[in-house]
Chain A
Amino acid sequence: MIVNVTDQAGEQHELEALDGWRVMEVIRDWGLNIKAECGGAMACATCHVYVDADWFDKVGAPSDEEEDMLDTVGDVRSNSRLSCQILMSDELDGLKVTLAASAAKDDVAA
């Protein structure tokens, strides 16, 4: 199955994914610019993506705990999700997401 990811530079990537993988893991495994520093524990927000409008209903809204983590990025939109909380399945084959600026590596204050 496939995840279509647009990175922070606007480049599009068609990534091969496996059933049950977290979208964050797919993006990280393919070496795109995702920090994902807590490794999927929903303890940071450095795997922040925007879910394409056509897919948002299928992916669904974030949980309360995920909303709390989304408070720690400055670029939340109505289609924001943490990609570690989206599990790949047949239903999501072809999913389209865009990496948020706040998911980039080394996005840090001086």
Chain B
Amino acid sequence: MSGNEIVTDVVVIGAGPCGLFAAFELGLLDLKCHFIDILDRAGGQCAELYPEKPIYDIPGFPVVTGQALVDNLMSQISPFAPEFHFNRMVNSLTKQDDGSFVLVTDADETFRAKVVVIAAGGGSFQPKRPPVPEIEQYENKSVFYSVRKMDDFRDQDVVIVGGGDSALDWTLNLQPIVRSLTLVHRRDAFKAAPASVNKMRELVMDGKINFLLGQVAKLDGTDGQINHVHLTMDAGDLSIPATRLLPFFGLTMKLGPVADWGLELNDNLIVVDTEKFETSVPGLFAIGDINTYPGKLKLILSGFHEAALMAQRAKKIVSPDERVVFQYTTSSTKLQKKLGVA
């Protein structure tokens, strides 16, 4: 049995800048949006990859950081009160006989919508897999990219790899419950918060954990259970006994389940037309970095334009009998009322 069922006009997959602006264009046309995003907050790449980086090609903003752009978009769409469902991935999308869509997330929620907009950028953010041979066969058995249950690590010989906050935080958090813990990092400098690094060094001094300078080269084990981690080190190669490996190499983007939805793809991008930005499936749209068409430029401003045109078509699908009059926000009191300014 599935859990919640949510019925809405439009589901937008991906809450990056283009998806967020789609909520504005759809909102002006009285269409209600629900967002589904794998991250824990809005903003997509702008928030996850480059929140502090300045962007210089957003029309009207000589310079704006990724995070400031997201904050402004959130404020701009707030009159339409879109709803956000974070930390979720859409596992399946099926078209119904009446043309509507049913989406099921990995949190076991069901969404019913007349229109679905894929605004998933480079795909969903997933943990980066280190280039270690045959690591796949150990994943989710003895190699994990996140700690879901601390108990999975209790009394284990744990190897944590990385130099960022995740690696250091989990080194500190897991140390009290493991049998042994080795932190492996390629250099003796850390991106993680200095306080965590200091605490880690104290644990090393006290003999409670090991710290090794190196990189993981190979894993030994059987049936998904590792028993040794081989390290390449400047000081000479080393093999250490281990029953759990936690590589923390940040996130990368992957198309994910979208690849299985029967859409026409070109080099992992979704093919759309340039009038409605509709995919090969009617009612299913793709905007922003994830789509492709002749002349496509992967710019945020292109995604904004695509969102506006997509919304016009989406309105016709949701309300086929309603006559839509094209209006400007500068002059239409109707639109201004929707925006809460008139």
Contacts and interface: CB of A to CB of B under 8 A. Distances in A.
A67 interface: yes
Interface stretch (A14-22, A52-60, A68-76, A82-90): A68-76
Interface residues of A, number: 26
A72 B145 contact: no
Contact of A109 (B127, B185, B298): B127
A46 B252 contact: yes
Given A39-B298, A109-B129, A74 B252 contact: no
Is the interface on chain B under 10, 10 to 19, 20 to 34, or 35 or more residues?
Answer: 35 or more
B131 A44 contact: no
Given A37-B252, A67-B187, A110-B136, A72 B128 contact: yes
A108 interface: yes
Given A44-B252, A68-B191, A74-B132, A109 B164 contact: no
Contacts, number: 82
Contacts of A46: 252
B318 to A, nearest CB: 34
B249 A67 contact: no
A11 interface: no
B30 interface: no
B266 to A, nearest CB: 13
Contacts of A70: 186
Contacts of B145: 109
Given A107-B128, A109-B129, A41 B252 contact: no
Nearest to B53: A41
B124 to A, nearest CB: 10
Interface string B214-236: 01100000000000000000000
A43 B65 CA distance: 13
B126 A108 contact: yes
A43 to B, nearest CB: 4
Contacts of B253: 37
Nearest to A46: B252
Contacts of B249: 71-74
Contacts of B16: none
Contacts of B130: 73-75, 102
A38 B139 contact: no
- Most chain A CB within 10 A, of B50, B126, B252, B254, is at B252
- Most chain B CB within 10 A, of A67, A102, A107, A108, is at A108
Interface of B: 45, 49-50, 53, 122, 126-132, 136, 139-140, 145, 161-164, 185-187, 189, 191, 215-216, 247, 249-250, 252-255, 268, 298
Interface of A: 35, 37-39, 41, 43-44, 46, 67-68, 70-76, 100-102, 105-110
16 contacts: A41-B50, A44-B252, A71-B162, A72-B164, A72-B249, A74-B130, A74-B132, A74-B247, A101-B131, A102-B128, A106-B254, A106-B255, A108-B254, A109-B129, A110-B136, A110-B140
